[in-house]
């Protein structure tokens, strides 16, 4: 916040500099002013003058100036530049206080101009305000034994608060209570109430961010003193003298004028309402209407759908797991195991139980009197009620999308049915030249969303040869597999493509249109493609053997044949890649669109380039490029240095190489390029065109205007795509523009050794010296030490694995931090004792120190050392990742010291773990 504020005020000074010369010394602005919302907004009081008030050489250190603040505040004054005066309070300002600040007339600038009148302004720190409550406003079903928590934005005065806080029953009758501060003990009863509330709060992430302290859940990480410091006197706990009444509205009113522990400004009024829980009773069950395929209501009256959850209705929240384990059903119902381990801290007034019920069955249910709600209230009396289940919801299932049906097996496609008296079947014969137009006309029709919710699908040029209603005459309430005869669409052919669609309505009277595009074929095919080349493997589905002599065609989305060839004796076809065939990608994140057709005799199969789902190469630790291009540019864009001032000249250079295919490097000489340099706000600094030289590089000098914005500048290099109309990025770089001064001192961090073993002490020596050689005696220093994971590598045994296979030490964590002052030699010494907790292997210790000089400028230094787990490492190297049965597996073991030398004679214990993955072929629908 302070950074942006200074930038804004500096801009004000520049805008009004010329007016100041004519009108004399003026004050352009002063902050803060008015009512502020946070004490952090008053961490610094700033006054901006219209003219320089001190020479540039006099802006360092603490200064004196006739700035008057009422009531008085301890702190120090210093200049932020020559025109901005800053007052830094020694401590946070008090709450609920109005301050009057005065700059007296008569003060003079370095030009001799004086301030003609007193400049006076006021600001006030936050007044008391109620920011959060437990229970929340309009909350219902509140525990009558729970206290009421009032969270304020500042420490409050308990002696007078009772006169301003009222608890009213039904909004009228006053209720007596005791009021006290929140207990500082995070393990006490107060905190248990808060944590219990937070577990059930739907928007806890928002609650914790805006209102409650962040350590309500993580209280164990903080000391009692830290908790007291953060919540001391900010939270009132209101305990009614008697338990509240059930089913009653209560109002908590905070009257206007409530006082905080600091200041005199009165707080604003506030009020909130809540309602206590009810008398615990069972109110029945809710039923879900279910309709058959004709729209008739089949679950009505006392009928309960057997394949939908039962929703119980209670007057108070009940835990669903406790309810499930308490119920008794006749006939018996199996209670799923997950109810035995479910969370029992939450509840609902409408708990749902997902149980396996039988259709058309009368159930007698008993709820015991011992059932309790989430508040511990017993039901008090046993409840017995009955309900009858209806039929299962009508349902129709089959594998949607693209599919294969083996041509050498019966041409049947299974459909699962339950409670369907009849359904409509549509089938169409699709010929090879119709495949691509079919996909382009309604590609989304074959994904799972389109298969459920799209309207009736009738692609242009496709006629449903079969459009009939099938009545399977199956018994009710049992799931059956019904075979669809694809020969009706194939019309006597042994292979072909069939478009299948089953329109129907489900149990909720929603229209469904399940669709599948089935290849009835004996050809198997796999496609691997890249911009440079592609490979198609053709095999016989029945035997798995490769097929030779199969015609393979590559077609684009215009249905044009771009390339054709035949498979060799190994069933392989090698073809040019999609880029070489002139196929363009629709955008940068989607694969190119093309199809591969395979023909052999009267059989046919096809593949799409967009069917790229399946087993990913990374699962086998294989490197791959998910976004390949035919010519891949590699570049280095750099400048002669990374940091510049406005007005400097930036020397920009770029070096480019092109990977052609997969292994051939090329120098892109004479390549036309466009170079764009953008500022911090993406504003254009310069754009120029050029051609790369014979070495595939360029260089250019760019002048930064003297009034340029500060921040990061980006360099983008583009070249025209093959179509000559669009630009493609081939490189980028960046540099920074800042106003800065060179450091006047340096900071070094040294340790007594570069390598250690866990358990050793690490002696750290921090030193600060001015560049002219003098030690920085008395300068403040802050330091921190972090531990991060480290993997040992041996230069000779590079293919050996050292250390644990899996490390728990992901990332890094703070080991220790602190501060102090440099001694007479400008040094500070600290001993560290890293224990290695949380690490299975070795670690990397990074120690960083920051020294601050009297002018408030800081410089940091850093040192990183290695902490080894032990005195030597054990390295393992196996004979490979894949071992066949009845073969010998070789294992090499080596022991080395941390410095890399061999460490012979060590006794090493090895453990061999056996993990077995079993491949299973599972029978699917129709016995497949």
Please give the mean pLDDT across all residues of the chain: 85
When comparing pLDDT for 627 and 133, which is higher? 133
**Cα–Cα–Cα angle for 148, 153, 155, rounded to 5 degrees:** 85
47 - beta bridge partners? 30, 85
Q: Is 402 helix (H, G, I), strand (E, B) or coil?
A: strand
Query: What's the pLDDT band for 616 if we cut at 50, 70, 90?
Result: confident
Q: What is the pLDDT of residue 167?
A: 95
Q: What is the pLDDT of residue 483?
A: 94
pLDDT above 90: residue 822? yes
Q: What is the pLDDT of residue 13?
A: 40
Q: What is the pLDDT of residue 840?
A: 74
Phi-psi group of 301: left, alpha or beta (phi > 0 → left; psi -120 to 50 → alpha; rest → beta):
left
pLDDT above 50: residue 218? no
Q: Are 398 and 414 in contact, with CB atoms under 8 Å apart?
A: yes
Please name which of 909, 881, 876, 879 lies closest in space to residue 895, comparing C-alpha atoms. 876
Distance separating alpha carbons of residues 13 and 8, to the nearest angstrom: 9
When comparing pLDDT for 707 and 232, which is higher? 707
Q: Name 628's Cβ contacts closer than 8 Å, sequence gap at least 6.
A: 530, 531
Q: What is the pLDDT of residue 443?
A: 56
Provide the CATH number for the domain formed by 282-389 in this structure. Answer: 2.60.40
Q: Name 670's Cβ contacts closer than 8 Å, sequence gap at least 6.
A: 691, 692, 694
Chain segment 361-419, per-residue pLDDT in tens: 999 999 999 999 999 999 999 999 999 988 888 888 888 888 899 999 999 999 999 98
Give CATH superfamily name and number for 523-620: Macroglobulin (MG2) domain (2.60.40.1930)
Pairing of strands 119-124, 780-789: unpaired
pLDDT above 80: residue 444? no
Query: What's the pLDDT band for 229 if we cut at 50, 70, 90?
Result: low
Chain segment 446-469, per-residue pLDDT in tens: 554 444 444 556 666 778 899 999
> Six-digit token pair at 874?
């054990």
Domain range 742-928, its CATH number among 2.60.40.1940, 3.40.50.740, 3.30.70.580, 3.40.50.150? 2.60.40.1940
Q: Provide mean pLDDT across the span 822-850.
A: 88
Chain segment 750-759, per-residue pLDDT in tens: 999 999 999 8
pLDDT above 80: residue 430? yes
Q: Spell out the CATH class of 631-737.
A: mainly beta
Q: What is the pLDDT of residue 912?
A: 82
pLDDT above 50: residue 603? yes
Chain segment 518-537, per-residue pLDDT in tens: 999 999 999 999 888 899 99
Q: Name 596's Cβ contacts closer than 8 Å, sequence gap at least 6.
A: 525, 527, 536, 552, 553, 554, 555, 606, 607, 608, 609
Provide the CATH number for the domain formed by 130-276 in this structure. Answer: 2.60.40.3710
**Fold of the domain built from segment(s) 2-124:** Immunoglobulin-like (2.60.40)
Whole-prediction pTM value?
Answer: 0.60
**Cβ-count burial of 55 within 10 angstroms (0-12 exposed, 13-18 middle, 19+ buried)?**
exposed
* Percent of the residues in the chain that have a pLDDT greater than 90, as a whole number: 54
**Cα–Cα–Cα angle for 896, 899, 904, rounded to 5 degrees:** 25
Q: Provide mean pLDDT across the span 904-916.
A: 85
């Amino acid at each position: 916040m302070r950074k942006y504020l200074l930038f804004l005020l500096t801009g004000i000074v520049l805008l009004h500099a010329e007016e100041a010369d004519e009108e004399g010394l003026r004050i352009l602005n002063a902050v803060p002013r008015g009512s502020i919302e946070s004490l952090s907004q008053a961490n610094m009081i700033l006054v901006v003058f219209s003219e320089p008030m001190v020479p540039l050489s006099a802006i360092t250190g603490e200064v004196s100036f006739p700035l008057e603040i009422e009531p008085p505040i301890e702190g120090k004054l210093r200049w932020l530049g020559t025109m901005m005066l800053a007052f830094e309070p020694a401590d946070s300002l008090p709450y609920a206080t109005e301050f009057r600040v005065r700059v007296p007339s008569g003060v003079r600038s370095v030009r001799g101009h004086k301030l003609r009148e007193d400049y006076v302004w006021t600001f006030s720190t936050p007044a008391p305000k109620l920011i959060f409550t437990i229970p929340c406003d309009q909350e219902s079903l509140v525990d009558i034994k729970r206290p009421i928590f009032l969270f304020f934005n500042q420490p409050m005065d308990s002696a007078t608060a009772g006169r301003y806080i009222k608890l009213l029953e039904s909004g009228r009758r006053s209720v007596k209570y005791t009021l006290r501060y929140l207990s500082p003990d995070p393990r006490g009863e107060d905190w248990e109430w808060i944590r219990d509330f937070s577990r059930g709060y739907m928007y806890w992430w928002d609650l914790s961010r805006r209102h409650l302290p962040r350590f309500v859940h993580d209280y164990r990480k903080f000391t009692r003193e830290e908790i007291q410091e953060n919540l001391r006197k900010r939270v009132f706990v209101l305990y009614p003298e008697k338990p509240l009444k059930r089913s009653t509205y209560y109002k908590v009113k905070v009257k206007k004028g409530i006082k905080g522990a600091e200041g005199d400004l009165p707080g604003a009024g506030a009020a909130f309402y809540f309602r206590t829980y009810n008398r615990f009773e069972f109110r029945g069950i809710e039923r879900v209407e279910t309709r058959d395929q004709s729209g008739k209501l089949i679950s009505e009256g006392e009928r309960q759908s057997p394949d939908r959850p039962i929703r119980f209705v209670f007057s108070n929240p009940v835990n669903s797991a406790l309810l499930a384990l308490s119920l008794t059903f006749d006939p018996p119902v199996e209670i799923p195991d997950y109810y035995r381990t479910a969370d029992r801290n939450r509840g609902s007034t409408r708990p749902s139980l997902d149980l396996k019920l039988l259709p058309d069955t009368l159930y007698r249910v008993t709820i015991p009197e011992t059932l309790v709600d989430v508040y511990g209230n017993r039901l008090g009396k046993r409840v017995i009620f009955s309900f009858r289940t209806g039929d299962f919801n009508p349902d129709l299932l089959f594998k949607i999308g693209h599919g294969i049906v083996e041509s050498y097996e019966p041409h049947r496609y299974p459909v699962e049915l339950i409670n369907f008296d009849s359904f409509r079947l549509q089938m169409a014969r699709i010929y090879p030249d119709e495949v691509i137009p079919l996909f382009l006309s309604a590609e989304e029709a074959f994904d799972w969303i389109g298969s459920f919710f799209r309207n009736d699908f009738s692609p242009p040029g496709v006629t449903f040869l079969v459009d009939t209603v099938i009545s399977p005459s199956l018994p009710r309430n049992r799931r059956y597999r019904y075979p669809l005869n694809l020969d009706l669409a194939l019309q006597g052919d042994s292979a072909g493509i069939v478009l299948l669609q089953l329109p129907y309505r489900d149990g909720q009277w929603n229209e469904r249109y399940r669709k599948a595009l089935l290849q009835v074929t004996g050809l198997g095919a796999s496609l691997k493609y890249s911009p440079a080349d592609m490979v198609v493997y053709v095999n016989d589905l029945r035997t798995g053997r490769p097929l030779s002599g199969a015609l393979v065609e590559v077609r684009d989305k215009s249905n044009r044949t771009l390339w054709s060839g035949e498979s060799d004796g190994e069933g392989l076809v090698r073809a040019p890649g999609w880029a070489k065939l002139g196929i363009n990608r629709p955008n940068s994140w989607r694969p190119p669109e093309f199809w591969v057709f395979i023909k052999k005799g009267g059989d046919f199969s096809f593949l799409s380039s967009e069917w790229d789902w399946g087993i990913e190469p990374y699962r086998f630790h294989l490197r791959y490029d998910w976004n390949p291009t035919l010519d891949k540019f590699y570049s280095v864009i750099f400048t002669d240095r990374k940091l510049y001032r406005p007005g400097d000249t930036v020397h920009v250079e770029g070096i480019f190489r092109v990977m052609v295919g997969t292994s051939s490097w090329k120098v892109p000489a004479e390549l036309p390029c466009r170079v764009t340099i953008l500022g911090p706000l993406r504003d254009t600094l310069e754009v120029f065109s050029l051609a790369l030289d014979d070495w595939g590089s360029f260089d250019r000098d760019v002048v930064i205007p003297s009034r340029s914005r500060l921040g990061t500048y980006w360099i983008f290099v583009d070249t025209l795509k093959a179509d000559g109309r669009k630009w493609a990025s081939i490189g980028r770089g960046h540099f920074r523009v800042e106003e800065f001064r060179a450091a006047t001192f340096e900071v070094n961090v040294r340790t007594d050794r570069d390598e250690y073993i866990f358990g050793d002490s690490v002696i750290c020596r921090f030193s600060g010296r001015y560049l002219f050689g003098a030690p920085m005696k008395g300068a403040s220093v802050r330091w921190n030490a972090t531990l991060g994971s480290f993997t040992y590598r041996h230069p000779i045994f590079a293919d050996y694995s050292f250390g644990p296979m899996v490390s728990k030490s992901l990332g890094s964590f703070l080991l220790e931090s602190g501060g102090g002052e440099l001694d007479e030699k400008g040094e500070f010494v600290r001993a560290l004792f890293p224990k290695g907790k949380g690490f299975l292997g070795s670690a990397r210790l990074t120690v960083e120190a920051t020294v601050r000089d009297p002018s408030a400028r800081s410089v940091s230094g850093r040192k990183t050392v290695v902490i080894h787990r032990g005195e030597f490492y054990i390295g393992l190297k196996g004979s490979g990742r894949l071992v066949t049965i009845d073969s010998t597996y070789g294992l090499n073991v080596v022991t080395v010291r941390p410095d890399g030398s061999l460490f012979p004679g060590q006794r090493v214990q090895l453990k061999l773990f056996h993990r077995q993955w079993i491949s299973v072929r599972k029978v699917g629908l129709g016995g497949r």
